[in-house]
């Protein structure tokens, strides 16, 4: 992007990459480029946080562990005793009947044991034990006011120090009780186990007794009902006049099936003979031949055919008058008569057979109908008989089963089986189980460490100030061009800028202290970072500003100008802070005449220059007396001043007021070649710096970067090298 500098505005010509670090705002194009994704916080940063707060973390953890030890030592020791109860589900619950051979259900072990655990914790089991050993007072569950309330004695008892557990994959119940008295803990655990055994026996005994009483009441009713059903069955047999109607019904059923088969065959036979009779009655020889009487007819037919053939031969050979002819004719006529007579006989026989078949069919139909009526009559009474018989048998069986159950229940009720037994009685504890001092100390150490580390990370996350270059690049997407270390007793140590001495150092700080030496070295590094970053053209003017007052911009501008002039570069330092000037204090010069007089055209700018002692290449233009009119004229006047001073100086440094809340820095930023924003590490808010960068970006100002002021080694892991400055500048540590 290229801008032109006119009377009213200053436009920088240079590479667009120089504007990339801070919120680019191009003049034309399809739209703003999407901001790159914010990089994650590296692991080394968390390690630095822990290192920075190591003494606080150590102190908090130590205090927590000591407090835990003191509290654990003052707590009354608690002893625990455990009684083991074995539940054998293979043992039958009775000695006779189904209860003696009943196999356990293997799929409900968890539900069964959970039920037993709840039963151990029930009021019926715990109340006798609590009353025997006065456990409620030991556990202090009832105070005097609560004990006086109505119904307090009947309230369900819950022992808070009692614990019932089940080891995994076992049928054991561990009944544990805790108490300051080890003997009381053992006695209570054993008493609860014994009370549980007695309670289960009482439950089973009461259930058996209740069942027996109920069955005895039902026994008389069943006896009367059995007698009534038996009498009704006997009376029905007498009315039916049969001993066993069911057997007679079976006979009739077989007979009916046989008659039905015979009737079906008779129908088929009658139909076949009727068809044969109709065919023979029509007179065809072929029909008679296929009938049951057709064999003689076929033989006579063959004889007729032979006689006809012979007659034809004789007729053709001898003639009509020959005696052989008459003989053959007579033989043919005789055979023909026999054939006709035989055919008539066949018709008569077929008719007789047809009539016999019809008569047999009719007779079978009548017999079948009579048998069916008899079967239906007997079958209808048989259903009633079966109902009476089933009722009588059911009443008798139920009566007999009830009598047997009453006898079994009476025997099993008095049987106390050993399916639930005490496997291991509780013994008084030797060592207390609470408090566990070692465990408490370990937990206190663990949780206090986690809490302290979390608090350190949280405090770092909630810190909205600027601290290190990585954070600036990650949050503000701009560059840090310099970091200035913190100096003890800031105002007193840096004070006025030192004058040039015979030392070979560019700026003489060594007489003040090692921390000031490191500050001077950082100033020279900042100067080189600013001047060497512009590769396209020479940087002639530089604005030093900040987001808010007290960031150290005036001090940095003064030392930056002194450092640049100490290398024999013509340097001009302008104090543009007309509201709160401080450059003249840094160099110990007068501020009676300065920039305000130049802007109001009272004096030429060259006449207002002041040259400090010891720095021949440095000229200073103080702020001058306060003037509201001068502040309004700073835009045009400053541009003209920079245009005139630019050719005469290698670098013009302008100390501007804070940018937020003041109008003058906005005009100054458009008039210089580069802008440097000073921030106070650990104090300046990131949002304020972001607002400054956004404003400068909107004005198309060339922001060189951010300067972090008053940084120290404990502020970030990026400043570890500051600890080496003191050692390097000591006489014994020089290389």
Q: How confident is the model at residue 451 (pLDDT cuts 50, 70, 90)?
A: very high
* CA–CA gap between residue 391 and residue 232 (Å, rounded): 10
pLDDT of 240 reads 64
Q: Which of 266-270, 586-590, 606-610, 645-649 has the lowest mean pLDDT?
A: 266-270
DSSP 648: G
Q: Which two tokens stand for residue 569?
A: 């570069």
Helix (H) or strand (E) holding 116: helix 109-120
pLDDT of 498 reads 54
pTM of the model: 0.49
Strands (E), 5-152: 79-87
Residue 215 burial (C-beta neighbours within 10 Å; 0-12, 13-18, 19+): middle
Average pLDDT, the chain: 76
Mean pLDDT of 591-612: 88
618 vs 717: which has the higher pLDDT: 618
462-510 confidence digits (pLDDT tens): 878 877 777 787 778 888 888 888 775 444 334 455 555 443 333 334 3
533 vs 505: which has the higher pLDDT: 533
Of 176, 182, 82, 184, nearest to 133 by C-alpha is 184
User: How many residues comprise the chain?
Assistant: 735
Q: Which of 55-59, 186-190, 243-247, 478-482 has the lowest mean pLDDT?
A: 243-247
Mean pLDDT of 52-61: 90
Q: How confident is the model at residue 449 (pLDDT cuts 50, 70, 90)?
A: very high
Question: Residue 558 pLDDT more than 70?
Answer: yes
Range of 160-174, 196-210, 289-303, 354-368 with top mean pLDDT: 160-174
Indicate the SS3 state at residue 233.
helix
Question: Residue 280 pLDDT more than 60?
Answer: yes
pLDDT of 619 reads 92
Mean pLDDT of 258-287: 74
* CA–CA gap between residue 402 and residue 687 (Å, rounded): 92
Q: What residues contact residue 137 under an 8 Å CB cut-off, 6+ apart? A: none
Of 387, 386, 383, 385, nearest to 239 by C-alpha is 385
**321, 324, 330, 332: CA torsion to nearest 10:** -110
58-98 confidence digits (pLDDT tens): 999 999 999 999 998 888 899 999 999 998 776 666 555 56
* CA–CA gap between residue 301 and residue 303 (Å, rounded): 5
373-427 confidence digits (pLDDT tens): 777 766 666 667 777 778 888 888 887 887 887 777 666 666 555 578 888 999 9
For residue 709, report the phi and psi dihedrals to the nearest 5 degrees: -105, 150
pLDDT of 36 reads 43
* CA–CA gap between residue 600 and residue 128 (Å, rounded): 105
Query: Angle at CA 378, nearest 5°, toward 377 and 379?
Result: 95
Query: Angle at CA 575, nearest 5°, toward 572 and 578?
Result: 155
Helix (H) or strand (E) holding 545: strand 541-546
DSSP 102: P
* CA–CA gap between residue 662 and residue 656 (Å, rounded): 10
Unique residue bearing structure tokens 């006809």: 308
190 vs 247: which has the higher pLDDT: 190
Alpha helices in 614-685 (DSSP H): 628-632, 634-645, 664-669
Question: Residue 317 pLDDT more than 70?
Answer: yes
Task: Report yes or no: 674 and 532 within 8 Å, Cβ to Cβ.
Answer: no
- The distance from CA 238 to its chain's CA centroid, rounded to whole angstroms, is 79
* CA–CA gap between residue 136 and residue 44 (Å, rounded): 57
pLDDT of 58 reads 93
343 vs 701: which has the higher pLDDT: 701
- Residues of the chain with pLDDT > 90: what percent? 17
Question: Residue 726 pLDDT more than 70?
Answer: no
* CA–CA gap between residue 618 and residue 609 (Å, rounded): 10
Question: Residue 20 pLDDT more than 60?
Answer: no
């Amino acid at each position: 992007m290229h801008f032109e500098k006119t009377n009213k505005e200053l436009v920088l010509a240079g590479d667009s990459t120089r504007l990339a670090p801070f919120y680019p705002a191009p003049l034309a194009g399809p739209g703003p480029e999407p901001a790159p994704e914010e990089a994650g916080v590296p692991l080394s940063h968390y390690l630095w946080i822990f290192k920075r707060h190591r003494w606080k973390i150590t102190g908090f953890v130590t205090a927590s562990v000591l407090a835990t030890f003191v509290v654990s030592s003052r707590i009354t020791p608690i002893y625990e005793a455990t009684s083991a109860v074995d539940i054998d589900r293979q043992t039958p619950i009775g000695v006779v009947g189904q209860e003696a051979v009943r196999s356990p259900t293997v799929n409900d072990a968890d539900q069964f044991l959970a039920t037993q655990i709840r039963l151990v914790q029930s009021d019926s089991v715990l109340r006798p034990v609590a009353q025997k050993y006065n456990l409620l007072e030991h556990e202090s569950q009832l105070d005097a006011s609560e004990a006086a309330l109505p119904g307090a004695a009947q309230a369900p008892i819950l022992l808070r120090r009692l614990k019932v557990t089940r080891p995994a994959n076992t049928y054991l119940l561990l009944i544990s009780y805790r108490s300051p008295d080890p003997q009381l803990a053992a006695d209570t655990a054993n008493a609860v186990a014994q009370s549980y055994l007695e309670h289960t026996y009482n439950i089973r005994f009461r259930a058996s007794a209740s069942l027996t009483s109920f069955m005895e009441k039902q026994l008389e009713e069943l006896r009367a009902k059995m007698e009534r059903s038996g009498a009704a069955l006997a009376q029905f047999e007498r009315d039916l006049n049969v001993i066993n109607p069911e057997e007679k019904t079976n006979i009739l059923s077989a007979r009916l099936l046989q008659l039905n088969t015979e009737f079906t065959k008779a129908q088929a036979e009658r139909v076949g003979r009727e068809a044969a009779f109709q065919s023979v009655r029509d007179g065809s020889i072929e029909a008679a031949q296929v009938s049951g009487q057709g064999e003689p007819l076929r033989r006579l037919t063959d004889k007729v055919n032979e006689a006809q053939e012979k007659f034809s031969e004789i007729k053709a050979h001898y003639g009509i008058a020959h005696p052989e002819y008459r003989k053959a004719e007579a033989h043919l006529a005789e055979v023909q008569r026999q054939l006709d007579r035989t055919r008539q006989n066949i018709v008569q026989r077929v008719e007789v057979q047809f009539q016999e078949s019809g008569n047999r069919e009719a007779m079978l139909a009548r017999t079948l109908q009579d048998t069916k009526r008899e079967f239906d009559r007997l079958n209808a009474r048989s259903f009633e008989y079966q109902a009476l018989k089933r009722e009588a048998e059911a009443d008798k069986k139920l009566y007999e089963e009830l009598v047997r159950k009453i006898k079994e229940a009476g025997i099993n009720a008095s049987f106390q089986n050993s399916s639930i037994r005490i496997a291991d009685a509780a013994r008084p504890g030797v060592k207390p189980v609470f408090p566990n001092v070692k465990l408490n100390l370990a937990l206190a150490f663990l949780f206090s460490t986690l809490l302290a580390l979390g608090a350190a990370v949280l405090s770092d996350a909630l810190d909205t100030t600027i601290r290190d270059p990585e954070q600036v690049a990650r949050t503000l997407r701009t560059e840090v061009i310099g970091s200035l270390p913190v100096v003890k007793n800031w105002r007193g140590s840096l004070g006025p800028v030192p004058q040039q001495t015979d030392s070979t150092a560019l700026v003489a700080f060594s007489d003040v202290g090692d921390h000031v030496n490191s500050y001077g070295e950082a100033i020279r590094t900042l100067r080189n970072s600013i001047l060497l970053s512009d590769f396209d053209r020479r940087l002639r003017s530089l604005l030093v500003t900040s987001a808010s007052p007290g960031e150290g911009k005036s001090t940095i501008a003064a030392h930056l100008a002194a450092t640049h002039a100490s290398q024999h570069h013509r340097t001009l330092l302008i104090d543009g802070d007309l509201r709160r000037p401080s450059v003249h204090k840094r160099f110990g010069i007068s501020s009676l005449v300065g920039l305000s007089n130049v802007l109001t055209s009272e004096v030429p700018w060259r006449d207002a220059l002041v040259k400090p002692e010891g720095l021949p290449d440095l000229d200073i233009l103080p702020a001058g007396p306060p003037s509201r009119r001068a502040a309004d004229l700073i835009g045009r006047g400053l541009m003209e001043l920079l245009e005139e001073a630019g050719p005469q100086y290698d670098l013009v440094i302008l100390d501007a007021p804070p940018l937020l809340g003041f109008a003058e820095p906005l005009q100054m930023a458009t008039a210089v070649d580069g802008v440097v924003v000073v921030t106070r590490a650990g104090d300046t808010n990131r949002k304020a710096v972001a607002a400054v960068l956004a404003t400068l970006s909107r004005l198309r100002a060339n922001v060189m970067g951010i300067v972090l002021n008053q940084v120290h080694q404990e502020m970030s892991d990026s400043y570890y090298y500051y600890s080496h400055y003191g050692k390097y500048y000591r006489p014994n540590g020089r290389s």
